[in-house]
Structure 1
Amino acid sequence: MIFKVYFQDKITEVPVRERTNTLYIEATTEANVRFKLKERGYNIEFVTAVDGAYLEYEKQSENYKVLEI
């Protein structure tokens, strides 16, 4: 399953919409996503599963690239 992760680059950074980044990652659960990204030091704001029509829409984005860890 593909998950979309909203995050700040640094764990100490306060979430601000204008500086929020996103990435896509393949994992089995949200907990698995957080485990895979733990070593990167991101301040993860939100993780959501992406499937169906929403996934097809996201694939059309120029920023769509699935991170493989």
Structure 2
Amino acid sequence: MIFKVYYQENANEVPVRENTKTMYIEAESQVEVRKKLSERKINIEFIQKVDGAYLEYEILNEDYKVLEI
């Protein structure tokens, strides 16, 4: 499964929508995504499963790239 992770690069600052970034991770569950990202110093705001038509739409985005962790 592919998950879209919304995050802030600095875990010590208050989240600001304009600074929210996204990344795509392949994992079996949201728990696995959090484990894969646990060593990174980021503030995870939201993890969303991406599939079906939504995944097809995201693939068309030029920024779409699944991270290999």
TM-score range, shorter chain: over 0.9
- Cross-structure match for 2:46: 46
Structure 1 position 61 matched with structure 2 position 61: yes
- Write the letter of the residue equivalent to 1:49: K
Q: TM-score, normalised by structure 2?
A: 0.97
The answer for unaligned runs of 5 or more in structure 2 is none
- Write the letter of the residue equivalent to 2:32: N
Q: Can you list the C-alpha shifts for 1:29-68, whole angstroms capped at 9, x where unaligned?
A: 0010011001011100000000000000000001100001
Report the aligned-residue RMSD.
0.5
The alignment of Structure 1 onto Structure 2 pairs a total of residues equal to: 69
In 2, the alpha carbon distance for the partners of 1:36 and 1:21 equals 17
The answer for unaligned runs of 5 or more in structure 1 is none
Deviation at 1:10, TM superposition (A): 1.4
**How many percent of aligned residue pairs carry the same amino acid?**
65
- Write the letter of the residue equivalent to 1:56: E
- Write the letter of the residue equivalent to 2:66: V
